[in-house]
Structure 1
Amino acid sequence: MIEMVIDQRRRNLGGGLEVGRVLPFAQRRMVGPFIFFDHIGPVDIAAGMSRDVDVRPHPHIGLSTVTYLFAGEMMHRDSLGCRQPVRPQEVNWMTAGRGITHSERLETVRAVGDRLHGIQAWVALPIEDEETAPAFSHHERDDLPSWQAAGVRGHLIAGSAYGLTAAARTHSPLFYAHLDLGAGAVAEIPAGHSERAVYVATGKIEIGGSPVASGQMAVLNQDASRMRAVCPSTVMVLGGEPIGERYLYWNFVSSSPDRLRQAAEDWKAGRMKLPDGDDHEFTPLPDSGKVSPPLADQRRSGGV
């Protein structure tokens, strides 16, 4: 039932902010259209902490970023003029398309002190949508399709699953949901997609008798249909249809390495507009100009 288990790799993005990098992985670069998967924190931010924990303005092309929090708050600003905090069980969905820039600030968390904990995923766009117009949408907690059943509480973040459909616009077939399971609870894993995975943010589960612990992603075969919580657990379930190989450089994703080079040149030359009201600093292009298919440990100093 489990094809592979991927352990998160802890990465320090600077200023005390850590993520657990899950995707891409050397032996599994994508799950459906999901090309990046970062577990943010958990980290306690003290009141008055340095602004170094903020993620400065940086660019994206060819993908959608999906930010979802369990605790804390992040402030999103982008080059479309959008300014929107994301809080627990809310979704910030940003489609970069042909190009967008944004920042992710911890303004409220730094002001009062709080725990920051969440997930940021990247969803690669199909070839026909890679150069679509950039867009941003925010979906509040009460707007997310939710359900409860026998020790399971679920929130559908994107796509269609569990007989529900989320509001965020997607460009290819996928599903993405957050499940909280009580000890011993059994939850269904959505079927009907070629590629699926579950990620345990906290706790421990079993799939077909095989354990999956906190900080691990289990990539599933088509036989996997349910999971059981060994203890109270928070789990992300995700999947979709493959969209073909993608090249990855820094914050850029594309089916064309030439397009990545062009995006890097545009950012380096200052041809990409910075977020409105947040144009006093930016994240420089990394020194390495190598463009390659997604690799296990390609670090990005831009997005979370």
Structure 2
Amino acid sequence: MTPRWQPTAHLETLRLRARLYHDIRQFFAKRQVLEVETPILSAGSVPDCYIEPLYTNYHGADAKRLFLHTSPELAMKRLLAAGCGAIFQITKVFRDGEVGRWHNPEFTLLEWYRPGFNQDDLIQEVDEFLQMLLHCPPAERLTYCALFEQHTGLHPLHTALSVLQDYVVQFGLRDVHRLERDTCLQLILSHHIEPLLGQTCPTVIMDFPASQAALARKRVDNPQLAERFEVYVQGIELANGFYELTDPVEQRQRFEQDLANRKALNLATYPLDERFLAALESGLPDCAGVALGLDRLLMLIAGASHINEVLAFPVDYA
């Protein structure tokens, strides 16, 4: 039997992707944001409990394991620390085990950073970006806490953990009373709230719990919250942005806590990116950054129902 060799995306969709990239570059050129390129291979990886990197073994004189980046974030921040100013990148990224309607282990990410921007500034620019490409109305903005109270009647910070665990029972999961608070919140968001978001205009969720800060800074006026936002369109998470943490000590502490969490979950651990941490120590400018999934954006533009419809050769046909 001859294996399938043809692309899974129609040729017109591939042309649409090319036009999308052209429009994106025009958007940033008008704003004098520099396009950059950083390595796909890295000596370290972000120790996120919910993201698994792919890796390869390098057999040169300095033999070592190298990771295919899950995001260009750390390398781009090294450029920011070197004084390059506002930058963007369109790049392939890789995450192990992510396959489905909206996922392929190799996918395309748009990431950009704006020195001098805060969370609100970047949300406004993302909104303008989406209005241009999707011809959609301006986005609505909701805080994470207000969103949870609106859809569940629960306050994500103040509701007892046992109540959150009881709420998760309806999703058909087992051993829910072993789940931690953030896991419960993420399950409620993904199963119950996300499908309702961004139906008439993009929805921006902002000010996440500090426990989900990732690489975002905490709010000065309320350290229980982080200046992190996500953008949803038609129930799909499209973008994830931060008012970036610039404190190297706090960032190292967060990475070490993430490593401890991975060990507790019997997940593989990875070396920290010491070059990134050294760049933070040298001084990262005050900035905000965002990552946006271009395959998902193209799905929305093309009216596609599966990611395979916008990829020439997804993982099963690579």
TM-score (norm 2): 0.28
Larger-gyration structure (1/2): 2
The structure with the greater share of residues assigned to helix is 2
The structure with the greater share of residues assigned to strand is 1
